[in-house]
Amino acid sequence: MKKIIQNKYVILFVTALVLASCGKDFLELEPRGTDLETNFYQNEDELFQALVATYDVLQWGGTNGWTMKMGLLNAASDDTYAGGSDASDQPSWVAFDNFTLDPFIGPQQGLWNKGYSGIYRANLLLEKIEEVEGLDEEFKARTIAEAKFLRGFFYFDLVRFFGSVPLITSTLSADEIYTQTQASISDVYAQIEQDLNDARNTFELPETVSGAELGRITKGAVNALLGKVILYQNDESRMLEAAQLFDEVITSGYYDLEDNFEDIFKLANEFGQESVFEISYSGNHRGGWDNFANGTEGNYDVQFFGMRDYVGPLYAVGWSFCPVTEKLVEAMQGDPRFEHTIIDGNQLKNQGATYTEGYQNTDYFIRKYAGLQEDRALDGEPALNWSYNVREIRFADVYLMAAEAYARAGGNDGKANGYLNQVRLRVSLQPVGGLTGQTLLDFIYNERQMELATEGHRFFDLVRTGRAVEELGDQGFTAGKNELLPIPQTEIDITEGNLKQNPGY
């Protein structure tokens, strides 16, 4: 774990961080000196900078290589292949795509380091805020709630990727770094729930934000994530509990489906009415290749998803990762969401456009986060400065999770059908009625695939519902192994074997 915590007990970060003044720039970080940890965290301004720094980890995509969560999860699912220029372009992506991961090859080191970097920053903030006297109570309570939400979010990613992981809720001394062991999965989930419940029960956490605060969490985001955490644990006795949390989001009056599905992912529609939790990116940092490793504030997935050497209207040049599978193309035929989810490359060619066919090319590409020429950054390296936000939890997802939770709770099939139909009616699909039992669940799972395709949800959905072997077996998925990534071998070595490798690796 040395890689995670190295140097961070001496210096706060390499630089102190400040908040920009407008909404899109909430998570933009700019250098201002080299304040030491010993003389930092002295007032609300400095504590708030530390909170922004914790949020900042959400957008990291360049930790130990290209480790963008959404793109990697797309590649691991049956929504897309890995892609790229050739099979050697990004070996860790290819290994996740065809499940040839081992303790050395795969995206695990970057995902591990990202998660624990966020946890470290949250832990440090939670400790330091208690040492400062005279803080405004509303500021203190809200800041603590946000830090706990973020810690819970990072642990939720880690437990889904790795299973049993070290449970660290305070900063560690140098001696403690090397003695960490893994907590049980149930204990990790218990900590996540405690953090989210603490945030949920914080009166000072707002129901909504606007203007300069866009990007900060709300009670709706906390309720949605807590419900999702409970849903993912597959305890049928708690499904009604999860459903009621989703209901709080649905009935809050602060969210709604966008009228037009095609509008959800437009740059001009960020933080729209369908966005429950959105991870903010910016193209204003003007970063280049010298600081691409988490240093540009840009969304790297956008560059990865675009067509290689593309020449034609509308779209910008990309790197041809995550070509859409023929399986998803076939499944979405006739669905009104197809054209807003998938780019048909052959159709573009027929219109005179050209592009270079990359590895695993299918001539179908991701549309939802496709880079448009008009949105390219004007300064710095455009490939690294895409400002498209990630819709981490959107209202349609909440409807479908609520439908699933009610269906699994038993005795609530009518409500499950109703929430399912809210999503279908938005895209003018015929409503369903009278579905029950496994038929209802299968319909909900299919709707999740159609509605959320290429947004990074599919892999975990297949794993948690026990359908991964059925749907991913032809990619190499092995039950009892590929539900989890391997623990990075460097972490096992650094702790001299205190950390144990996951089964099958």
pLDDT digits (tens, 9 = 90+) for 318-354: 999 999 999 999 999 999 999 999 999 999 999 999 9
- Mean pLDDT for 202-207 is 98
| Residue 13, pLDDT score | 31
Tokens for 367? Answer: 């549309």
- Mean pLDDT for 183-206 is 98
d(CA 67, CA 62): 6
Which ranges in the chain are annotated with CATH 1.25.40.890? 2-67+107-205+483-494
Percent of the chain predicted with pLDDT > 70: 93
| Residue 286, pLDDT score | 78
CA dihedral 244, 248, 249, 255 (to 10 degrees): 140
What mean pLDDT, rounded, does the chain reach?
92
| pTM for this model (two decimals) | 0.93
pLDDT band at residue 394, thresholds of 50, 70 and 90?
very high
Which ranges in the chain are annotated with CATH 1.25.40.390? 215-279+389-453
10 Å Cβ neighbour count for 423? 24
10 Å Cβ neighbour count for 242? 25
- Mean pLDDT for 256-281 is 97
Nearest in space to 142 (alpha carbons), one of 207, 193, 190: 207
Nearest in space to 221 (alpha carbons), one of 398, 399, 464: 398
| In contact, 415 and 406? CB cutoff 8 Å | yes
The alpha carbon dihedral of 102, 105, 109, 112 has a sign of negative
Burial label for 2, CB within 10 Å (0-12, 13-18, 19+), is: middle
Percent of the chain predicted with pLDDT > 90: 86
Residues composing the chain: 505
Q: Is 392 helix (H, G, I), strand (E, B) or coil?
A: strand
pLDDT band at residue 287, thresholds of 50, 70 and 90?
confident
Q: Which fold has domain 215-279+389-453?
A: 1.25.40
CA-to-CA dists, residue 135 to 66, 130, 143, 212, 472, angstroms:
40, 9, 11, 21, 52
Has residue 368 got a pLDDT over 90? yes
| Residue 3, pLDDT score | 32
10 Å Cβ neighbour count for 269? 17
Has residue 137 got a pLDDT over 90? yes
Burial label for 496, CB within 10 Å (0-12, 13-18, 19+), is: exposed
| Residue 314, pLDDT score | 97
What CATH class has 2-67+107-205+483-494? mainly alpha
Q: What is the pLDDT of residues 217-240, one digit of tens each?
A: 999 999 999 999 999 999 999 999
d(CA 417, CA 292): 46
Q: What is the pLDDT of residues 92-124, one digit of tens each?
A: 999 999 999 999 999 999 999 999 999 999 999
The DSSP secondary-structure symbol of 85 reads S
| In contact, 389 and 55? CB cutoff 8 Å | no
